[in-house]
Structures are given as structure tokens and as C-alpha cells.
Amino acid sequence: MTIATPVSPLQTGQRYRISTVMGAEWIKMRSVRSTIWTVTAMTVITLGGAIVAGLTIPGQWHTFSANERATFDPTNTSLKGLLIGQLVIGVLGVMVMSAEYGTGTIRATLAAVPNRPLIVATKAAVFAMIAAVVGQVLSFGAFLLTQGLLSNPAPHASLSQPGVLRAVVGSGLLVPVLGVFALGLATIIRHTAGAITAFVGTLLVLPISLEALPASISHPILNCLPPEISQNMGSVVPTTGSGWTLSPWAGFGVLCLYAVVTLGIGAWLMVRRDA
């Protein structure tokens, strides 16, 4: 009598079907409530901020100083809510990985697919695709809402104007990159609260702390941090600050580097550590 050895449904010989592994990760993401709630929260924050800006700025325009009117950026104004929404997508990115460690289901995942770097890569890929769609929909939606509500005497922008389309598309692209960065942090830390703290600290606490340093030291560092990169990407009117500043796409490249490095370190640590 022979005993049949069970074969993982994700395995064919020694080769794993990447599409099947990605399909499994897609099922995980769409079947948990956290995905729906975080996307809903991000939508409310982003579009709600756009509506508020479009409705209130025309009535407050007469209170703006001459310099505020000259530097007013209707494109960046419409995308302010998306900057806050990036914190929300970071929380979702953390939970995509850390939730499995918290519940212990990571053991089942590793039993089905022992190739740990593949698990990290497919999680990041599926999450990035979802976040990219959400980011672009919300970015264009916020822009169109605000510009549609802005009325005289406040100026408004259109996608045909120089730099506007770049700012809207670029702001939407920041969403998946920051989300993958958060996912990488969660892979390294393996704890939801710790990874969220690290992500929020990078976006909010670290820039505030650096402000205490002399400008010659803090300015170059701040320009390479996510908040300043996001601000530059979503702006059409140049800021009046002095000193060296990364261009929008150069900053986006730096942000992508952060995501790749954290994800790579997380995958390396996952191979070396027990589940």
C-alpha cells in the first residue's frame, strides 16, 4: 500500500505559478473588511477635502494677501486631501502583511508557497495594482471636483495647462509607492502597531524633528523625505523656498527606491527568520 503525498495546489513540480499565487493574494485582500474600510476612509478624506476646498476658497479669496494670491496653486489645493489619504493607504499596506503574522495564517501561506521572496513580491504586486487604481481615481476625482467648484474670483486649473496633468497623475502614483513602502516596513517589523508607528513616524514625526536642526542640514534631508516629495509632485506653482530641491520625478524615483529597499530587506529577513 502506498500513501499519496499531498501536493500544494500552487505547485507544479518545483515551479510555482505566479499568476496562481497572485490570485490567492487577491482573494485575501478583497475578502477582508480592512480593505473596504481603508479605501472608503481614503475616499471620504480625499474627496471630502476637495469639496471643502472648492466651496470655501472663493468666499475667502478677498482675505488672501497679495503674495498668497500670486502663489495660489489650484491643482495642489485640490490634492491636499490625497496627502492625508496617503497615511490611510500606508495602514492598509501594513495590514496586508502584518495581519497574517498577527493571526498566525502566515504559517499556512508559507506551507502552500515555501518560496518566501515570491510571497513578498506577489503581495506587493497585487497591493500595488489595487492602490494604483485607487490612487488615480481619487487623484483625478479630487482635481475635477475642486476645479468644478472653484468660482470667481479664485482661479482654477485645467488638465491642459502646463504641469497640471503631471501633478495629478504623479500624485496618484505616490499612493501605491507609499503603500508598498509601508508593506515593506511591516515585512521587516512583523507587528501591526510597530509598523504603523514606523510609517507615521517617517511621514510626520521625522520631518518635524528635523526642523530643529540648522537649515543647512535639515533642508537637504527634508527634500528627500516622503512629505516634501509628495508636496513637490502635487504642485504646479513652484514654492518660494530657497536652496536645493528635488524635481518632482526625481523625488518620485527616490520614493520608489525607499519602497524597493524596504521590500528587499523584508524579503531577506523573511528567508532568515522563522514564521
Under 8 Å between Cβ of 130 and 208: no
pLDDT score for 258: 96
Query: CA-to-CA distance for 58 and 256, rounded, in angstroms?
Result: 37
Residue 33 contacts by C-beta under 8 Å, 6 or more apart in sequence?
Answer: none
With H, G, I as helix, E, B as strand and everything else as coil, classify residue 266: helix
pLDDT score for 11: 46
Amino acid residing at 108:
A
pLDDT score for 3: 39
pLDDT score for 33: 84
What is the pTM (predicted TM-score) of this model?
Answer: 0.89
pLDDT score for 139: 96
- Spell out, as residue ranges, where the chain has pLDDT lower than 70: 1-16, 239-243, 275
Query: Per residue in 234-259, pLDDT tens?
Result: 999 876 555 678 889 999 999 999 99
pLDDT score for 243: 61
pLDDT score for 6: 42
CB atoms near residue 40 (< 10 Å): 11
pLDDT score for 18: 82
